[in-house]
Amino acid sequence: MIKRFYLDTYALIEIGKGNPKYEPYKEDVMIILSKLNLLEFSYCLFKEKKENEVKEIFERYLKYDVDYDQETVIKAAEMKFKFLKERLSFIDCIGYFLAKKHNAKFLTGDEKFRNMDNVEFVK
């Protein structure tokens, strides 16, 4: 059975940097993400003056995009409120519930998610 992973922006950045700890998530896995993660990743590329890579990144990853619905947005808002002290982003909260909805693990190295259910934590 092929493992499924939702790539949050942290994971996308680490894969882009060639972090060897993320090598196992590049092949023989099913990945999903949302355009919101591509938005954050694109912003990071602009910050690093790599704007020439943005279109290529979108073309490479857009096929893995899954959309979110009303239920996902409401659960994400509730999660953000519940973990107010941790200052989770709305994008991460949406991604977390998209992972659950699509029977995928939420792949991240974000410390805020280290001990949460349904998270594959890689630092």
Residue 7 pLDDT greater than 80, yes or no:
yes
* Cα–Cα distance measured from residue 52 to residue 100, given in angstroms and rounded to the nearest whole number: 33
* Cα–Cα distance measured from residue 58 to residue 65, given in angstroms and rounded to the nearest whole number: 10
pLDDT value of position 27: 87
pLDDT value of position 70: 98
Q: Which domains does the chain have, with CATH numbers?
A: 3-21+30-110 (3.40.50.1010)
pLDDT in tens, 10-38: 999 999 999 999 999 988 999 999 999 99
pLDDT in tens, 66-122: 999 999 999 999 999 999 999 999 999 999 999 999 999 999 999 999 999 999 999
* Residues composing the chain: 123
